[in-house]
């Protein structure tokens, strides 16, 4: 008799736990995506037609201590991007030498020329009087380095991205599946602005991965932080000479 009662009680506990589990997830919480927009899988959500929503969690401050009065947490609003209002700014550290600055720069190139030093990861916009405005850049990874002289043939704000078929095949071999096309926007690898070089596939553009500035990570394009490429974009025009060395 006692054994039968124990078995019945155990079964009741199992069914109760299952019922509680069903109740717990009857209304499922919303999915919150990581703010790391460089995650490879984020590009697979609709091939650019469906843009994932990224929720920025507010920073919450609350008084602590044994005798502290009970108060409701206070949410602090996140800063938003100046170049795309409504998009939260996600801060990433960058080495000070890669921040924009005016430096001494002796060259035979005319003011207004862009010179890109890929070895040292700097882009120089030549100025009058032996000066240049210098920006930190990301450059081509090993095997994708190049050098030459071109002119800016086109400029685009929040450009869309159509990966070359060679890149799609190359990344697929690594398990990274790129979309055939991606609309312009904060999660687009080309970032906020793009300046196209000659008739090549190379560009000077922004990035959705600002922590890569100062590194050799691209397929040959020159990338800047979005705020920096926006600044450069406003200072140059179509026809500007660009020297990559």
One DSSP character per residue, 24-41 reads HTSSPPPP---S-TT-GG
Q: Is residue 14 part of a domain?
A: no
Q: What pLDDT was estimated at residue 18?
A: 44
Cα–Cα separations (whole angstroms), residue 23 to 8, 17, 30, 77? 22, 10, 16, 34
Residue 155 belongs to a domain: yes
> Is residue 57 a part of any domain in this protein?
no
Chain centre distance of CA 175: 20
30 found inside a domain: no
Q: Which of 123, 111, 113, 145 is nearest to 216 (CA)?
A: 145
Helix (H) or strand (E) holding 59, with range, is: strand 59-61
What the block records as the tokens of 56 is 């920025």
State the pLDDT at residue 166. Answer: 82
Of 105, 103, 109, whose CA–CA distance to 243 is shortest?
Answer: 109
Report if residue 104 sits inside a domain.
yes
Q: Are 244 and 147 in contact, with CB atoms under 8 Å apart?
A: yes
In a domain, 27, yes or no: no
pLDDT in tens, 52-105: 333 333 333 344 444 444 444 444 444 444 444 444 455 567 899 999 999 999
Q: Which residue segment(s) compose the domain that 114 sits in?
A: 96-244
Pairing of strands 139-140, 216-218: parallel
- pLDDT tens string 18-45: 444 444 444 444 444 444 444 443 333 3
Instruction: Identify the DSSP state of 202.
Output: -
Active site residues: 205, 221
Tell me 57's DSSP state: P
- Rounded to whole angstroms, how far apart are CA atoms 231 and 82? 12
Tokens (6 digits) for 172 = 């697929």
Average per-residue pLDDT in the chain?
Answer: 75
* Structural domain includes residue 134: yes
Sheet holding 222-223, edge to edge: 101-104, 131-136, 122-126, 114-117, 241-244, 148-157, 193-197, 203-205, 222-223
Strand, coil or helix: what is 71? coil
Residue 98 region, left (φ>0) first, then alpha (ψ -120 to 50), else beta? alpha
The answer to whether the CB of 203 falls within 8 A of the CB of 140 is: no
CATH number, domain containing residue 167? 2.40.440.10
- Report strand pairing: 122-126 vs 131-136: antiparallel
Number of domains in the chain: 1
Contact 245, 118 (CB under 8 A): yes
Assigned domain for 223 exists: yes
Residue 166 near residue 244 (C-beta atoms within 8 A):
no
- Is 243 within 8 Å of 149 (Cβ atoms)? yes
- Quick: pLDDT tens for 174-217: 888 778 788 889 989 999 999 999 999 999 999 999 999 999 99
pTM over 0.85? The answer is no
pLDDT for residue 170 is more than 50: yes
Write down the pLDDT at residue 47. Answer: 39
């Amino acid at each position: 008799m006692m054994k039968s009662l124990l078995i019945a009680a155990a079964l009741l506990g199992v069914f109760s736990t299952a019922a509680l589990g069903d109740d717990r997830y009857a209304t499922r919480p919303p999915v919150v995506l990581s703010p790391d927009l460089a995650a490879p899988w984020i590009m697979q959500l609709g091939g650019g037609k469906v843009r994932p929503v990224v929720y920025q969690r507010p920073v919450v401050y609350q008084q602590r201590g044994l005798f502290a009065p009970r108060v409701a947490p206070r949410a602090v609003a996140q800063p938003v991007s100046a170049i795309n209002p409504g998009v939260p700014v996600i801060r990433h550290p960058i080495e000070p030498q890669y921040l924009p600055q005016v430096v001494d720069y002796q060259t035979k190139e005319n003011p207004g020329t862009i010179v890109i030093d890929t070895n040292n990861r700097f882009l120089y916009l030549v100025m009058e009087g032996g000066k240049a405005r210098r920006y930190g850049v990301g450059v081509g990874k090993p095997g994708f380095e190049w050098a030459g002289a071109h002119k800016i043939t086109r400029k685009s704000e929040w450009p869309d991205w159509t990966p070359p078929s060679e890149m799609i095949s190359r990344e697929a071999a690594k398990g990274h599946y790129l979309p055939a096309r991606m609309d312009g926007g904060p999660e687009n690898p080309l970032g906020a602005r793009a300046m196209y070089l000659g008739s090549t596939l190379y560009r000077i553009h922004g990035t959705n991965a600002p922590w890569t500035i100062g590194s050799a990570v691209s397929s040959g394009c020159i990338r800047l932080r979005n705020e920096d490429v926006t600044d450069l974009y406003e200072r140059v025009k179509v026809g500007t000479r660009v020297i990559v060395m």
